[in-house]
Chains A and B, each alone.
Chain A
Amino acid sequence: MLSPVPPSSAISVSGLVKRYGDRAVVDGLDLEVKTGEVFAFLGRNGAGKTTTIEILEGYRTRDAGEVSVLGVDPAHGDGAWRARIGMVLQQSQPVGTLTVTEILRLYAAYFPRTRPVDDVIALVGLQEKSGERASRLSGGQLRRLDVAVALVGDPELLFLDEPTTGFDPDARRMFWDVISGLRETGTTIFLTTHYMDEAEALADRVGILRDGHIVALGTAPELQAQRGGVEIRFVLPSGVTPADLPNLSGAGTRAGEEMRISTTAPTADLAVLCGWAAGKGIELASLSVQRPSLEDVFLAIAGNDAAVGS
């Protein structure tokens, strides 16, 4: 039934549909994730992220479409297939009365090929907590334990469903380091996240999901370029109004004290602007040229605020 998947594809999805009642939560989703790639799946709550990842993991059935994960249809994935995959689920707690080492030894027993438990503990930075019971770990430490559990079977492919939700900034940085380290080892990583900076920091490619299908796909710079243009920003000098500024190709908007010139010709506009300012002996405070952030891109394509939490 499945067309043969090129070995360079870790995940291949076409025309995926999942309905709950009349509502299609996933609605014609197409996706390829290459072997060794870190792919981030972005979308608002209810966009279908978790449903999709759980279909790829084999937890949920689908209503239509073709799915191949490591060359196997997840609906018929067996133990040998699961041995090649690591998962961090959105909600799951370990048995709290067991220690970090005990939990990892147990999970190691489930897998045919394993990484040494101590190595995995070091990889996620839990060496000092290895003898601690899981119930005494902080949220960030628990999540790292979760990742250690996912890694103990030495997976080729790692699924991470919102791995850093609820982390403090330090814990997120540490977590990112762990993921970056895994990329070095060639592990394919598929992650969902709410955080744009996380996707930007970790992912080779980003897919933005809206209403059950992908509406934007590419590297972060590609998506930013699709948005078009850059912004020249500076603080309006005192006594100068927007009307006093020279003619520029881009349109200007004022945000408080700051002027923002949105332009597709930043070099020419900057030359005019700087020539004008230098001629008048004006220093343009906080002058900068910025690409739209991934967050701007996301807000523009992921759907309006009314869709949040739907």
Chain B
Amino acid sequence: MLRAQVHADLLAFRRAPSALFFTVGLPVIFLVLFEAIFGDQKVPGAGGGEISLSTLQVPGFMVMGVVSASFVSLCITVVNRREAGVFKRVRGTPAPAWVLIAGQVVTTLVIAILMVVTMLLIGRFGYDVQMNTAEIPWLVLSVLVGAIAFACLGMAAAAFVPSLDAAAPTANLIVLPLYFISGVFVPVSELPDWLANIAMYLPIRPFVEMLAYPYNPGTSLPWSSLLVLAAWGIAGLVVAARFFRWTPRHS
């Protein structure tokens, strides 16, 4: 049953041109543009000395890819299915609720992993940005924790979006400012301290730290970042479990 659900959800995702463009295309386009404009700039590296900004932009836009796939895309899909009555219809069949949720989360994970691999390859072969291969287990762990945490947050956000029209603007309004203060669009070293400090406790900056580590290793693994992100994910799960609804708002 879960296999059929994931198969159908992936098929539906692949066939929706706007979802495909905004989720997969936009982070790739942003990476290419930012590389062309800022790629040669130098910023302080974690292990002292200077590194090229490319080294941070590749994991930064990797974060954008994962967040697009999990948080933004999931939020829009869930609101869409809810308001169109798809969820309500399925709740009238023997399918248990977890199959629907797991279908969305597994679909999200597949897309997120594809995004990470795409960004990794573009970085490696397009801009000669290399990661410390010893840190691949950490990267895998980070991507899994990040994608699941943002999927939980996406479910939570969907619970508060009243209509399909409001889904994409709401999801983007949440993440776009965070990209600016979390080291995705602008290097953290350019930010005022207070702003950078606030961002440490919001979900995207910790994720950037986690994915940047294999590219720009510091003295120790950013476990604290992983804990902050996991805490956000759990908070999202609790809110989603409390407020999530299967039936359309206007019925």
Contact = CB atoms under 8 A, between A and B. Distances in A.
Contact of A111 (B94, B96, B248): B94
Given A106-B4, A110-B1, A93 B86 contact: yes
B85 A89 contact: yes
A97 B93 CA distance: 21
Given A89-B85, A149-B89, A95 B94 contact: no
A102 interface: yes
Contacts of B93: 82-83, 107, 110-111, 153
B94 A92 contact: no
Q: How large is the interface on B (under 10, 10 to 19, 20 to 34, 35 or more residues)?
A: 20 to 34
A112 interface: yes
Interface residues of A, number: 29
B52 interface: no
A79 B86 CA distance: 18
A80 B1 CA distance: 15
B86 A85 contact: no
B247 A98 contact: no
Contact of B4 (A80, A83, A91, A105): A105
A292 B11 CA distance: 54
Interface in B69-105: 81, 84-86, 88-96, 99
Contacts of A59: 88, 91-92, 247
B250 to A, nearest CB: 9
A89 B12 contact: no
B242 interface: no
Nearest to B2: A109
Contact of A83 (B8, B86, B94): B94
A98 B11 contact: yes
Interface string A86-118: 010101111101100011011101111000000
A79 B247 CA distance: 18
Nearest to A107: B93
A94 B86 contact: yes
A76 B41 CA distance: 64
B5 interface: yes
Q: B16, B85, B93, B251 — which one has the most chain A CB atoms within 10 A of its CB? A: B93
Contact of A82 (B1, B12, B94): B94
Contacts, number: 75
A57 interface: yes
A93 B11 contact: no
Contacts of B94: 79-80, 82-83, 110-112, 153
A57 B4 CA distance: 25
B8 to A, nearest CB: 4
Interface in A120-171: 133, 149, 153
Given A92-B86, A95-B12, A79 B96 contact: yes
Name which of B16, B92, B95, B96 has the most chain A CB atoms within 10 A of its CB: B92
Nearest to A146: B89
B92 A85 contact: yes
Interface in B14-42: 15-16
A61 to B, nearest CB: 13
Contacts of A107: 93
A103 B105 CA distance: 20
Contacts of B92: 57-59, 82, 85, 87, 89
Given A87-B89, A109-B1, A111-B93, A97 B251 contact: no
A110 B84 CA distance: 19
A187 B92 CA distance: 18
B190 to A, nearest CB: 41
A106 B5 contact: yes
Interface string A59-94: 100000000000000000001101101010101111
Contact of A92 (B4, B84, B95): B84
Given A109-B4, A110-B93, A91 B81 contact: no
24 contacts: A57-B92, A59-B88, A79-B95, A82-B94, A87-B89, A91-B248, A91-B251, A92-B85, A92-B86, A93-B84, A93-B85, A94-B89, A95-B12, A95-B84, A95-B86, A97-B16, A102-B11, A103-B8, A106-B7, A110-B1, A110-B93, A110-B99, A112-B94, A149-B89
